Structure 1
Amino acid sequence: MEASHVACRRLTRRAAGNFFVSFLGLSRQRFRAMCALYAFLRLTDDIGDEPGWSLAEREQRLSCWREQLRIALRGVDIPVVEPFDVFPALVDAVSGFSIPEEELQAVIDGIAMDLQPRTYPTFDDLRVYCDRVAGAVGRCCLHIWGFHDPAALETAADCGLALQLTNILRDLGEDAAMGRVYLPQEDLARFGVSVDDLVAGRVDDRFRELMRFEVSRTREHYIASEDLFAQIDQPGRPVLRAMLRIYSGLLDRIERVDYDVFGRTIRVATWRKALIGVAALLGRS
């Protein structure tokens, strides 16, 4: 068990960057649970994005990953080798904080939706995907942090939606090149932007108007997410604050480059993320 927690902590420290700093303010049990959850999520995402595997290989590996999760949560011993060495720690977190198995499975469902190119006709269709890959993650976090208002589970959907929409806007060009167009087709049609425009990285007045609309809507979900601070217990607030500030900072960056998200890396500077993480850890604004 301890070896599994160590593996999760190492992966999280290496891959989570400054989020790892915000985890440090949690109790030992919550810290270990967050590292286990993060490690599981990171490895699940890696299966869906591994460029060296064919579609069939990714489908097979994701199916195996899903089955190993199910087996581990039933208390059956599995080989403790990478990447499955994260499961004992994850099972410990699920048991200790009553994390619903269906939320973990929902994340895998969301990654499965990414295996083949797809489009989303409406925003409601996109919400389903976002809830699986991000809303479910938020609800898992709530169980670790603690919450005293059942409405937090619903607010977590807004939070997850805000974070995932930010990812979508940041990675627009890269995703389009891989056949993944997450922006609702109804939005593209409304502003006269085609999929070919996205693939070509065409930035014109139509595209900027589309992006202004998308950024504005995403900010509305960040505002709705603020309700979570009154709904969750104190231990999770610094982590939540760091997440919201870092990701909303990406929207600020998108606006500063006049919505040209093509051919450039949209990110919050490492030093700024570090300051955000430390400030959140210390409980400062």
Structure 2
Amino acid sequence: MPKPLAEAAQIMGCSALDLTEVEKVVRKSKTSFATGMQILPPERRYGMYALYSFCRIVDDIADEDGDVPTKHRLLQEWRDRLDGLYAGQATDAVERVLLATIQRFNLKQQDFIDIINGMEMDVEHPIVAPDEQTFDLYCDRVASAVGRLAVRIFGDSSDAAQKVAYHLGRALQITNILRDIQEDAERGRLYLPKELLERFHLPLTPKECVNSVYVDHVCHILAYRALDHFRLSREFMAQCSPTALRPAKIMAITYKFLLAKQKKVGWKPPFKRVSLSLIEKIGVAGIGVIMSYIGLKR
């Protein structure tokens, strides 16, 4: 048995088989998440795998094909399963590792409920031009709530760490929205706030909106809003454990680079979604690791 797996199993009180199952969920997604979590101690790494598995499952319920009543039922089942977990009951590998993670890192049930409620916002009907209050609520539920759980798993439950989750979650989610406006429009979704769209007399229908040259103005405003959240998250990180929030720092650096790249390309049609080349991924990750170790705030 690999040493990190055995160590995590001993510390968390889980079977190695259960830990392997949650790791499979992460690796099956073929994201860079598993690689990024390698810098964590084994028990925190598998705790993040469990959190990712939960998020992946409820996100798939919301996004995959299926009728609305079934999706509501499946999400409600997960609310009920959370009640069971907080009563100390678990029935499968993901639940058992999630239970161990909840207990070890004192995770709050409401944060999990917030994530489910965020998924349900996408299920009820496609989000199209939400007002500012709804836009911020959505960002809080699908991103900052994940951050509130993650910083505890990373090892910092301070008020400052919770503020990092608040601001960094919003910064990351706005960045994702700005990179995915074309894909979202094709799915009948438009996450750009109604008030901003009306300011520039943009249509409130997804495809017509993203095909307007003036959507560039709205997206630039949101980009600056995201940058402000990046700045505030960095200020609160300075008050946190530098070792614990190392993964958050690396994530912030990576996404800020992505946002800068998208901002340079712009949002005028035809829209071009940016991504990181292999060289850029290596470079940004390397810079992030170095900066997180030496404690530079940038």
Q: TM-score, normalised by structure 2?
A: 0.84
Aligned to 2:201: 192
Alignment of 1:197-236 (within 5 A): 198-199=207-208, 201-204=210-213, 206-236=214-244
Alignment of 1:1-285 (within 5 A): 1-2=14-15, 3-15=17-29, 17-50=31-64, 52-78=65-91, 80=92, 85-115=93-123, 116-119=125-128, 121-147=130-156, 149-196=158-205, 198-199=207-208, 201-204=210-213, 206-260=214-268, 264-281=272-289, 283=293
Further displaced range: 58-67 or 218-227: 58-67
- Measure how far apart 1:263 and its partner are: 5.5
Cα distance change of structure 1 residues 121 and 76 upon mapping to structure 2, 3 Å threshold: closer
Q: Percent identity?
A: 28
Q: Aligned equivalents of 1:262 and 1:114: distance in 2?
A: 26
- Measure how far apart 1:155 and its partner are: 3.3
Further displaced range: 249-258 or 106-115: 249-258
Indicate conservation of the 8 Å contact 1:193/1:207, yes or no: yes
- RMSD of the alignment, in Å? 2.3
Aligned to 2:6: none
- Measure how far apart 1:236 and its partner are: 3.0
Cα distance change of structure 1 residues 39 and 277 upon mapping to structure 2, 3 Å threshold: farther
- Measure how far apart 1:272 and its partner are: 2.4
Q: Aligned equivalents of 2:289 and 2:269: distance in 1?
A: 31
Q: Aligned equivalents of 2:48 and 2:192: distance in 1?
A: 30
- Measure how far apart 1:97 and its partner are: 0.5
Further displaced range: 134-143 or 2-11: 2-11
Task: Say which SS state the counterpart of residue 114 (structure 1) adopts.
Answer: helix
Cα distance change of structure 1 residues 262 and 228 upon mapping to structure 2, 3 Å threshold: farther
Aligned to 2:9: none
Indicate conservation of the 8 Å contact 1:201/1:262, yes or no: no
Gaps of 5+ in 2: 1-13
Q: TM-score, normalised by structure 1?
A: 0.88
Q: Aligned equivalents of 2:208 and 2:220: distance in 1?
A: 19
Gaps of 5+ in 1: none
Task: Say which SS state the counterpart of residue 174 (structure 2) adopts.
Answer: helix
Cα distance change of structure 1 residues 187 and 171 upon mapping to structure 2, 3 Å threshold: same
Which one-letter code corresponds to 1:133 in the other structure? V
Q: Aligned equivalents of 2:234 and 2:141: distance in 1?
A: 21
Q: Aligned equivalents of 2:236 and 2:24: distance in 1?
A: 29
- Measure how far apart 1:181 and its partner are: 1.9
Q: Aligned equivalents of 1:250 and 1:152: distance in 2?
A: 23
Deviations 1:122-177 (A, max 9, x none): 32321111111111111101111222642331332111111111111111122223
Indicate conservation of the 8 Å contact 1:142/1:232, yes or no: no
Q: Aligned equivalents of 2:257 and 2:230: distance in 1?
A: 11
Q: Aligned equivalents of 1:102 and 1:247: distance in 2?
A: 27
Q: Aligned equivalents of 1:242 and 1:154: distance in 2?
A: 17
Q: Aligned equivalents of 1:262 and 1:98: distance in 2?
A: 47
Q: Aligned equivalents of 2:97 and 2:37: distance in 1?
A: 16
Deviations 1:230-251 (A, max 9, x none): 2332333321122112222221
Indicate conservation of the 8 Å contact 2:130/2:191, yes or no: no
Task: Say which SS state the counterpart of residue 266 (structure 2) adopts.
Answer: coil
Indicate conservation of the 8 Å contact 2:128/2:205, yes or no: no
